[in-house]
Copies of this chain bind each other. A is one copy, B any other.
Amino acid sequence: MSEEKNITSLSDLGEFGLIDRLAANIKIYNKSTGKGIGDDAAVINHGDEETLVSVDILCEGIHFDMTYCPLKHLGYKAAVVNFSDIYAMNGTPTQIVVGMGISSKYSVEAIEEIYRGIRLACDHYHVDLVGGDTTASRSGLFLSITVIGKAKKEDIVYRSGAKPNDLLCVSGDLGAAYTGLLILEREKAAFMEDPNMQPEFAGYDYILERQLKPEARWDIVKRLKDAGVKPTSMIDVSDGLASEVLHLCKESKVGCTVYEERIPMNHKTIQTAKDFNIVPCVAALNGGEDYELLFTVAQSDYEKVKDMEDVRIIGYMTADEGQANLITSDNCQVPIEAQGFKHF
């Protein structure tokens, strides 16, 4: 409208740039606000225990495709990715509120199926669904879930606590959710060409489940606690390893070195990436949606984490602020670059 003003397209600024712009100029009024924008969850003080709050949105056509995403799985995933944000603060999710926008093409039974998935996740993780708002939307479906969790003040782990020489660890394996998505998209394309075809999903169970029905790593949080290890920083892997490593470096004002050969990947993930002519570690670095925990521990905790089940040390933090490097299998050093989900 107004040619005088500078207009920036969303695609120019990107997701993280937009967040930075929006987070500027926000004032804090309440003593109970311990930590605002900038971590996996906000922290609200309530006497002995802190309240953690986080919100995540899933949009049809952006985060999921109704062609291959079963509604119940969608609900389950929408809840679990929120729980993951609270675990990434070393807390326990306790309540969620669910916002839903629905176009008229959906039946009530379809919505109930989504809620069934949300309830299943709540049952599995012992989280209470305490409220929501459901409304019409002009097109498609979106889910906005806000999760509330708790943690003792001294237990909370922020993104900002990593120190030089800390060990960088990750749980489970990476890249599987992304390769699962590649399979789903391939079969969808084939189906679009020939609606009589049968999708070929045999043998891909693991990576498909990682994409469609991820779990949040409460077990890792518990395992670390039981071992007496408090991570110095932590984040969940929602946007890909590269993006999360850079978040930890930025918030902690450190650098890091990651070894490609240490990045845990399932053999099916590796094989599928290769089938699609993708260097496997790129699926781990930029794929996203794994919902594993990426965390740092002090060198003194090395003995406790080195053989910990489902935890892998993949590198270490350095004093070179903002310098995150990958040491490739052939011993080259390449900078790790931000990617994030390019929604815009």
A172 at the interface (CB under 8 A from B): no
Q: Are B95 and A8 in contact (CB under 8 A)?
A: no
Binds B, one of A102-110, A185-193, A273-281, A317-325: A102-110
Partner of A57, one of B41, B128, B135: B135
Q: Are A95 and B132 in contact (CB under 8 A)?
A: no
Q: Are A15 and B138 in contact (CB under 8 A)?
A: no
Q: Are B60 and A138 in contact (CB under 8 A)?
A: yes
Query: What are the residues of chain B within 8 A of A271 when measuring CB–CB?
Result: none
Query: What are the residues of chain B within 8 A of A46 when measuring CB–CB?
Result: 46-47, 49, 51
Q: Are B57 and A104 in contact (CB under 8 A)?
A: no
- Please measure, in the bound complex, the distance between the C-alpha atom of A60 and the C-alpha atom of B15, giving whole angstroms: 21
Partner of A128, one of B36, B63, B97: B36
Encode A1-45 as 1/0 by CB contact (under 8 A) with B: 000011111111101001101100111111011011100011010
Q: Are B22 and A132 in contact (CB under 8 A)?
A: yes
Q: Are B6 and A109 in contact (CB under 8 A)?
A: yes
A56 at the interface (CB under 8 A from B): yes
- Please measure, in the bound complex, the distance between the C-alpha atom of A29 and the C-alpha atom of B122, giving whole angstroms: 9
Q: How far is the CB of A135 from chain B (nearest CB, A)?
A: 5
Q: Are A130 and B27 in contact (CB under 8 A)?
A: no
Q: Are A134 and B62 in contact (CB under 8 A)?
A: no
Q: How far is the CB of A281 from chain B (nearest CB, A)?
A: 26
Q: Are A44 and B146 in contact (CB under 8 A)?
A: no
Interface centre among A5, A30, A35, A56 (most CB of B within 10 A): A30
A-B contact pairs, 7 of them (CB 8 A): A6-B109, A10-B102, A22-B132, A26-B129, A33-B94, A46-B46, A62-B136
Q: Across chains A and B, which 7 residue pairs bring their CB atoms closest together, nearest first?
A: A46-B46, A136-B343, A42-B130, A144-B144, A146-B146, A61-B138, A8-B108
Interface residues of A (CB under 8 A from B): 5-13, 15, 18-19, 21-22, 25-30, 32-33, 35-37, 41-42, 44, 46-49, 51, 53-57, 59-63, 94-95, 97-102, 104, 106-109, 111-112, 115, 119, 122-123, 126-140, 142, 144, 146, 148, 150, 343-344
